[in-house]
Amino acid sequence: MNISGVRTSVSCAKSTGISDDVTDSKIMKTVSKYRVGSVADWRAVGITERQLQSLVRQGILVRMRHSVYATAAALEESKADPAHEHALLVAAAMAATSRDTVASHQSAALMDGIKLLKKPPAGTVALTRPSGRRSGRVGRGGIKVHTGTLPADQITQRFKVPVTTAARTVADLARTSSFMAAVVAADSALHQSKTTKPELDSVLSGSVRWPGLVQARRVLDFSDERSESVLESCARVVFDAHGLPPPDLQVELGAERFAGRVDFYWREYLTVAEGDGEIKYIKAGRASAQLERDQLLRAAGFRVVHFTWQQLFHEQLLVISWIRQAFSGEIG
């Protein structure tokens, strides 16, 4: 009944002798032990319907979804960390569904700090339950339940909530997401050392009958721990889709004078490409520093292309043409 899904038996709860007075210290002590649970869960630890209603009126318990309540203290504690906050949503979804579920897919990624191409709609939770149970659709309250085998070594805990390991999370996303979204998640997990390619290979090798396995293998081969941002991961997918050769990543350039580390580098063509996210120029002086670096790179004989997130997704042909022109020496 708490965030880890541990229930206290009704018989044990009844023996506590908790009164109907919500100011009773025993009630407050009982409530403080738990974080989120269904009405049945709260009753199981000795909180009566009357006490529950009073605790809600006082703001000590807060409704998270139908018949599921969390302590205000737990919600306040989670506000500082989006991963923790999502873990409470997952715990509430588990309380509303069944205890045999595990946080997975996008929910597991959010809880583990793995970057996603697109965040799921607010309040949406993804769970996996053992094979043989119905799954697949987003149900009432935004709960999407998948089914699949759940080996013990592919389950861990985050914020006391059962969740798939990073390797299993990436494998699940690689099977069920678009190729670009899957590469974003895989690159992020690898870059943060949350998993490794051998671990991903092990998960995929043990699941030869999974749907989407062909794409998952392609994601594994394509993913690269050197990719440092969502924009960089997306750009690599776009480059590949348009037939560009794979670039080196995060290469330090400049012989006589160090010019800097670049996002993408095609050595054969002496061409550099830089993805310019909005955050890149937030700090004062970043724009002028970037201009100076570009001048150093061009003086050393490199051709430099810049593109933004907007251009990558809405003017792809233009971005690709800039890079091809740089390859041919038409722009520098």
Q: How far apart are CA 22 and CA 47, in angstroms?
A: 9
* All structural domains of the chain: 10-78 (1.10.10), 97-222 (no CATH), 230-328 (3.40.960.10)
Specify the amino acid at residue 167: A
- Tell me the percentage of the chain whose pLDDT exceeds 70: 86
- Output 44 or 256, whichever has higher pLDDT: 44
pLDDT digits (tens, 9 = 90+) for 236-283: 999 999 999 999 999 998 766 677 889 999 999 999 999 987 655 555
What integer is the mean pLDDT of 60-80? Answer: 93
pLDDT digits (tens, 9 = 90+) for 119-177: 999 889 999 998 765 544 545 678 999 998 999 999 999 999 999 999 999 999 999 99
Give CB contacts under 8 A, 24+ apart, made by 174-179: 174/212, 174/215, 174/216, 174/219, 174/220, 175/210, 175/211, 175/212, 175/213, 175/215, 175/216, 176/105, 176/146, 176/212, 177/117, 178/117, 179/215, 179/218, 179/219, 179/237
Q: What is the mean pLDDT of the chain?
A: 87
pLDDT computed for residue 21 by the predictor: 52
**DSSP per residue over 77-113, as a string?**
HHTT-HHHHHHHHHHHHHHHS-TT-EE-HHHHHHHHT
- Output 141 or 228, whichever has higher pLDDT: 228
**pLDDT band, residue 7 (cuts 50/70/90):** very low
* Contact present, 309 and 264 (Cβ < 8 Å): no
**pLDDT band, residue 288 (cuts 50/70/90):** confident
pLDDT computed for residue 5 by the predictor: 41
pTM to 2 decimal places: 0.86
Reduced to 3 states (helix: H, G, I; strand: E, B; else coil), residue 42 is: helix
When mean pLDDT is compared over 95-109, 283-297, 307-321, the highest value belongs to 307-321
